[in-house]
């Protein structure tokens, strides 16, 4: 338990009045730092929330929750230890409880230490100071120095503010909307928000497009750009402040009527291994086809779908005995049973080799050619890009909000981004710390300019 106490003291406390004074100085410094970054200074007084707000100031908002929660966990351990009144004899013996607390303390301390480095590295970049400042940012009893110096010295100014979204970008992107089509998918999404760690967060903003029937569309975007959030919004699973119309019908106001007109195949496969292919599809047909469809009609539809996806030869095989490619086709078949007009697939080629993936996408191309709209998320787009008509590119802007950086044909996308490969497009919009070129804002603005002339 001595190790635990040492770790907790190292990260959180100093003895007596000295520790209290250093703690107060740190909060005063954070108050000024928050104000410089466009936040309310009083966040410095709120335990754990201030860690999250500091991460936002550092441009490390995605790391803020872990930074804050690991600090919270360490504090809870310290409180638990204070209430464990142990005798000298008990302290001499390491019980199972003590071992667990020690492991938790070491783990949380390492996590907090690593994320402390990441967050303060971001602050060093934001303030444009030398890396040697990190030596003072590592520990609680020295962090007050950079906080006070950067906070009170007018010489130190952040390169950007937390709430500073480029005004021109926001103004241009909010203009206009996509014209509603009688046939096809029309999306006019103003915003999709969520409450996350002490504040309302905008996940998606200003996404407008009209996709004609018969088009197969590639959905691109880096990690955190909002691809899954976007497809959940258009299929009605997670409603946004939006108008989504499929063949003239509003998916939000007529969801019950249209829920089976949209097929969504998630990345994970949700099938019972001990069922046969045939029984799996028959069960899917009972769930997804109208109640007035009789057993003979359901079986006919199942036979038709098995033929389309090449599953007829293995219809009596157990799901757990299928190959990876066959499981993918079965997963897709389950959603295709209802003959949806809009078909969305999240990484259907995950785990498949190039040949099997190609065969799968060729089948999806055939489905689109029957007049369906097929939207696909894939992390290996270039091996099948010739099969797509259009591409949607989502990117995180400077406020970490998913925005529309491009929607149009594949060839026009190559010209727009001056990139031949789709994977290079993703690299260009990813943030620099993610291995990208950090051009998301530029392309969001460029696309807005093109759209609004």
Asked if the model's pLDDT at residue 151 lies above 70, the reply is yes
Does residue 73 fall inside a structural domain? Answer: yes
What was the pLDDT predicted at 215? Answer: 95
Q: Are residues 368 and 304 in the same domain?
A: yes
Q: Which of 106, 128, 152 is the last residue of a domain?
A: 152
* 162 domain-assigned: no
Mean pLDDT of 362-374: 92
For residue 434, pLDDT over 60 is answered with: yes
Q: Are 260 and 140 members of one domain?
A: no
Assigned domain for 399 exists: yes
Same domain, residue pair 51 and 173:
no
Residue 157 lies in a domain: no
Domain of 97 in residue numbering reads as 2-152
pLDDT interval class at 84 (50, 70, 90):
low
For residue 198, the model assigns a pLDDT of 62
Residues 256 and 396 both lie in one domain: yes
CA distance 292 to 275: 25
Q: What is the mean pLDDT of the chain?
A: 83
Are 148 and 182 members of one domain? no
**Residue 63 has what pLDDT?**
84
Which of these ranges, 10-19, 345-354, 403-412, has the smallest mean pLDDT?
Answer: 10-19
- Higher pLDDT, residue 62 or 39: 39
96 vs 271: which has the higher pLDDT: 271
Query: Which carries the bigger pLDDT value, residue 363 or residue 224?
Result: 363
The predicted structure's pLDDT at residue 201: 79
Q: What percent of the chain has pLDDT over 90?
A: 29
Domain count, the chain: 2
Q: How far apart are CA 429 and CA 442, in angstroms?
A: 9
Do residue 98 and residue 183 come from a single domain?
Answer: no
Q: Is 201 exposed, middle or buried (0-12, 13-18, 19+ CB in 10 A)?
A: middle
DSSP string, 50-79: HHHHHHHHTT-GGGHHHHHHHHHHHHHHHH
Q: Which of 127, 152, 177 marks a domain boundary?
A: 152
User: Is 158 inside any structural domain?
Assistant: no
Q: What is the dihedral of CA 196, 200, 206, 210, to 10 degrees?
A: 60
83-87, 126-130, 218-222, 288-292: segment of lowest average pLDDT: 83-87
Check whether residue 195 and residue 225 sit in a common domain. yes
159 falls within a domain: no
8 A C-beta contact, residue 249 and residue 184: no
- Average pLDDT for 223-250: 88
Segment 346-355 shows an average pLDDT of 82
**pLDDT score of 176:** 63
* 106 and 232 co-located in one domain: no
DSSP 298-314: HHHHHHHHHHHTT-GGG
Indicate whether 142 pLDDT > 70: yes
Q: Does residue 140 surpass a pLDDT of 80?
A: no
Exposed (0-12), middle (13-18) or buried (19+): which is 134, by Cβ within 10 Å? middle
215 shares its domain with 249:
yes
HSE value, Cβ hemisphere, 13 Å, CA-based, for 232: 13
What are 221's strand-pairing partners? 394
The 10s digit of each residue's pLDDT in 407-419 is 999 999 999 999 9
What pLDDT is stored for residue 412 in this prediction?
94
State the pairing for strand pair 241-246/249-250.
antiparallel
3-state secondary structure at position 70: helix
Task: Assign residue 241 the CATH number of its domain.
Answer: 3.40.50.300
Of 62 and 403, which is predicted with more confidence? 403
Residues 242 and 131 both lie in one domain: no
Sign of the torsion angle spanned by Cα atoms 237, 239, 244, 245: positive
Asked whether residue 99 falls in the same domain as residue 183, the answer is no
pLDDT number for residue 138: 85
Instruction: State residue 47's pLDDT score.
Output: 85
146 lies in the same domain as 198:
no
With respect to residue 393, please indicate whether it lies within any of the assigned structural domains: yes
Q: Residue 389: is its pLDDT beyond 90? A: yes
Domain assignment of residue 160, yes or no: no
Assess whether pLDDT exceeds 80 at residue 93: no
What is the structure's pLDDT at 85?
54
Q: Average pLDDT of 354-367?
A: 88
Span 153-196, pLDDT tens digits: 989 999 877 765 444 455 555 556 777 777 889 999 988 888 76
């Amino acid at each position: 338990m001595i190790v635990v106490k040492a770790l907790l003291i190292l990260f959180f406390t100093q003895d007596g009045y000295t520790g209290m004074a250093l703690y107060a100085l740190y909060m005063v410094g954070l108050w000024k730092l928050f104000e410089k970054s466009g936040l309310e200074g009083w966040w410095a007084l709120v335990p754990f929330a201030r860690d999250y707000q500091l991460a936002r100031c550092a441009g490390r908002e995605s790391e803020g929750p872990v930074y804050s929660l690991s600090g919270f966990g360490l504090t809870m351990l310290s409180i638990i230890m204070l209430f464990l009144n142990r005798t000298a004899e008990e302290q001499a013996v390491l019980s199972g409880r003590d071992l667990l607390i020690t492991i938790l303390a070491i783990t949380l301390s390492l996590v907090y230490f690593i994320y402390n480095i990441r967050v303060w590295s971001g602050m060093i970049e934001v303030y444009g100071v030398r890396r040697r400042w990190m030596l003072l940012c590592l520990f609680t009893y020295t962090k007050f120095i950079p906080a006070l110096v950067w906070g009170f010295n007018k010489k130190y100014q952040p390169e950007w503010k937390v709430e500073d979204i480029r005004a021109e970008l926001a103004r241009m992107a909010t203009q206009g909307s996509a014209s509603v089509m009688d046939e096809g998918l029309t999306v006019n999404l103003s915003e999709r928000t969520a409450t996350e760690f002490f504040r309302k967060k905008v996940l998606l903003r200003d996404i407008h497009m009209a996709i004609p029937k018969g088009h197969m569309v590639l959905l691109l975007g880096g990690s955190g750009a909002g691809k899954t959030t976007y497809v959940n919004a258009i299929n009605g699973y997670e409603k946004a402040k939006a108008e989504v119309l499929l063949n003239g019908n509003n998916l939000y106001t007529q969801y019950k009527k249209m829920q089976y007109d949209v097929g969504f195949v998630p990345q994970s496969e949700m099938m019972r291994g001990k069922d046969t292919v045939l029984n799996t599809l028959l069960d899917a047909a009972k769930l997804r086809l109208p109640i007035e469809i009789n057993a003979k009609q359901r079986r006919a539809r199942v036979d038709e779908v098995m033929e389309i996806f090449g599953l007829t030869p293995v219809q009596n095989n157990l799901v757990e005995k299928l190959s990876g490619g066959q499981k993918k086709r079965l997963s897709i078949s389950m959603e295709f049973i209802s003959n949806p007009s809009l078909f969305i697939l999240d990484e259907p080629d995950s785990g498949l080799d190039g040949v099997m993936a190609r065969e799968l996408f060729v089948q999806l191309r055939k489905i689109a050619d029957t007049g369906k709209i097929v939207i696909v998320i894939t992390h290996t787009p270039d091996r099948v890009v010739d099969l797509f008509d259009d591409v949607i590119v989502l990117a995180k802007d400077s406020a970490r909000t998913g925005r529309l950086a491009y929607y149009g044909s594949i060839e026009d996308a190559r010209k727009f981004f001056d990139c031949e490969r789709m994977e290079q497009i993703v690299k260009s919009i990813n943030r620099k710390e993610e291995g990208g070129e950090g051009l998301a804002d530029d392309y969001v603005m460029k696309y807005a300019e093109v759209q609004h002339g």
